[in-house]
Amino acid sequence: MSLAAEVINSGYRSVVAQAETNLKKLMTEWYELFKVERLTCPANEKNLGILRLHIFPALGAFDVKDIDAERIQRFINKMKREKLTGGFGYSKDTSGGYSVDYIKKTKSLLEQFFKYAVRKNFVSVNPVSDVDVRVAGKCTSIDADEKGKALRPELRTTVFGAVESNPVLKPILMTLAMQGLRTQELIALKWKHIDFEVKELQVRDAVKRTIMLDDLGNITSRGSEIGCLKTVSSLRNIAMPQVLIDVLYEWKEYCQQNDIKTEQDAYVFPNTSRGKKNELRTYSSLRSLFQRFINKHELKNEGLTLYMFRHTFATMLLEEKVNPKIVSEMMGHASIKTTLDIYSAVFKATYTEAAGTLHNAFMRMFAT
């Protein structure tokens, strides 16, 4: 029987004397018992990466009683200053190390574990409480404008002009850009969710990534399945513009001519490759399709991502002065504050225009 199983059956105190108390062993057991089932697969994958790549190599071999604030602070400081060239968790500022948010996530995992360790009397105090993650000269969170990056107006013309000749990718990008769907919502979309008569698209499901773990918490395989939406607010009906309706009619005809299912319960954008036709499309296959399009049209230097089309949807609406509350609801945001934070750059231009409008209104009061 594994230690994790013993803990479930008999409680930690009865097996502590038999167990090694190095951080890697205890933190692996803690994460498996108290975190894996409560988090989404992407969150688990990110956390397990932090454990495997950073925490365990630096601290895993130490007995938890020997890990103090100074040892953890040295570990954090190293993450701040390491010279990196890019990748997951890396700072865009190559003069420094990992991003502040990534370092804060690393500290948070350690802090949660040591709170647990204090409760179980493995240690008397939480050594993470006094650790500082601030980096001189860097923001403490991701720039909201960066998170809301959309296609530039001239790039919109280039991209949608180029995709006209791609019968599979065209309806996908058009739906993302004209309905503001998250990629996982788009992949889960079925024909029964599209009402051509009412001109409405219904968001009801989302694809979630699945992972399988071994006894040590290592990822052994990945997959996809239909799961719940991100939030309650994500359940929504979105009005479809006529241009998108025309594109989806065109796509449906293409499907019928190429043995791609269009029954009510069939996926709107399934896998179309030979041998996997009509199966649930994975995010990686969609990303590969998009990457081939980028390479073909020499758009590698534009920093294009699929998520940019969702941001473009919101940005275009806000540029046309659509009420932010309506945009927030169409995006499926939990609150309008999320919308205002992410698209602050769009509002800056609106605020400037509002000041000009106020000036003109004030001057008209004195016009003869």
Pairing of strands 219-227, 236-239: unpaired
* Three-state secondary structure readout of 185-209: HHHHCEHHHEECCCCEEEECCEEEE
Contact 160, 322 (CB under 8 A): no
Q: What is the mean pLDDT of the chain?
A: 83
What is d(CA 219, CA 48) in angstroms, rounded to the nearest whole number?
A: 8
What pLDDT is attached to residue 362? 81
First to last CA, the chain: 91
- List, edge to edge, every strand of the sheet that includes 194-195: 194-195, 200-203, 236-239
Contact 118, 315 (CB under 8 A): no
pLDDT tens-digit readout, 162-208: 999 999 999 999 999 999 999 999 999 999 999 999 999 999 999 87
Q: Among 12-16, 178-182, 304-308, 327-331, which stretch is predicted with the lowest mean pLDDT? A: 12-16
**Residue 365 region by backbone torsions, left for phi larger than 0, else alpha for psi between -120 and 50, else beta:** alpha
What pLDDT is attached to residue 339? 86
**Where do the domains of the chain lie, and which CATH numbers do they carry?**
3-142 (1.10.150.130), 153-353 (1.10.443.10)
Answer yes or no: is pLDDT of 111 > 80: yes
Which residues touch 216 (CB under 8 Å, ≥6 apart)?
28
Q: Average pLDDT for residues 331-342, to the nearest whole number?
A: 86
Q: Is 315 exposed, middle or buried (0-12, 13-18, 19+ CB in 10 A)?
A: buried
- The rounded percent of the chain whose pLDDT value lies above 70 is 83
Answer yes or no: is pLDDT of 4 > 50: no
This prediction has a pTM of 0.62
Contact 224, 257 (CB under 8 A): no
What is d(CA 331, CA 105) in angstroms, rounded to the nearest whole number?
A: 27
What pLDDT is attached to residue 96? 56
Answer yes or no: is pLDDT of 330 > 50: yes
Query: Burial code of 43-66, b = ≥16 C-beta within 10 A, e = fewer?
Result: ebebbbebbbebbbebbbeeebee
pLDDT tens-digit readout, 21-71: 899 999 999 999 998 888 777 788 889 989 999 999 999 999 999 999 999
